[in-house]
Structure formats: structure tokens, C-alpha cells
Amino acid sequence: MAKVDDRLLKELARKYDYMPARIRDLLGFLKVVHEFSQYLANNQYYSEGLNKKVFLLDLDTDTCLLKLEKLKLVSENLCAEVEKSLVAGGKANVEKKQFADLNASINTLEKELTEIHSRALQLTEEIRTESKQKL
């Protein structure tokens, strides 16, 4: 099966300009941000304004997690079609445009995740500042 996996990755990269590892990497990145936002949401010792920002951050990470899971499913389905063609020796019933659309969606989501990550860092600074003022 390792030969099929190697052949699949080569086929995806060469023919479709696609690397499934991107979704895995984004999922790992998002899970860290998501756990952090949930931690902040569970420890609401902040002002009402900061609590609202924490809530929105948590909501946005949940939304991105749902979007990424859908992209993961699309990716797995497309990759399965290409893998099936490699094993059976036929032509894949997949268009390059499908992978191009998937890549575009991944790029868009990656930008959203980067923005959410920046907001999380900004929020930690606001919480730190507010906490110092209460001392």
C-alpha cells in the first residue's frame, strides 16, 4: 500500500498541483487556536467588552473548524477517486478544476485562520493590559 500512497502523492502533486498535507497542517494550527479560544471562553474574568471579543473569537474558530472539516471531506473524496484510478489502472473521474477550486478554498480559509490567530494574539494583549489595571 505504501507504493500506492507514494504514487498517489506524486499524481496529486504532478497532475493536480495538490498536497493533502496542507489540510492536515491547517487542522493542527486551527486546533491550537480553537483550544486557546475555548480556554479564554471558559475563564471569563474579563470585562464585558473583552468577554464579547472572546465569544466572537470562539465562534469564529468553531466556524472555521466546520469549514475545514468540509474541505477535508472534499479532499478525501477527490483523493479516493484518484487513488482508485491508480489501483485500477484507469483514468480518474476527477477534473483539474475540482482540485483548483479546493486549493482556492483552502487558501481562503488559510487567510481567515491567519486573521483569527492575529486576533487571538491581540486579545491576549488586551486581557493582559486589563488584568494589570486591576492589580
Closest CA to 11 of 80, 77, 74, 105: 80
Distances (CA, A) of 98 to 22, 39, 46, 59, 107: 16, 37, 45, 29, 14
Instruction: Report pTM.
Output: 0.87
By residue count, the chain amounts to 135
Return the pLDDT at 3: 58
CA angle 36, 121, 135 (to 5 degrees): 90
Kindly report the number of other CB atoms within 10 A of residue 42's CB atom: 9
Return the pLDDT at 113: 97
CB 110 within 8 A of CB 48: no
Q: What is the pLDDT along the chain (135 residues), one digit of tens a residue?
A: 455 588 899 999 999 999 999 999 999 999 999 999 999 888 877 788 999 999 999 999 999 999 999 999 999 999 999 999 988 888 888 999 999 999 999 999 999 999 999 999 999 999 999 988 887
Return the pLDDT at 1: 43
CB 65 within 8 A of CB 20: no
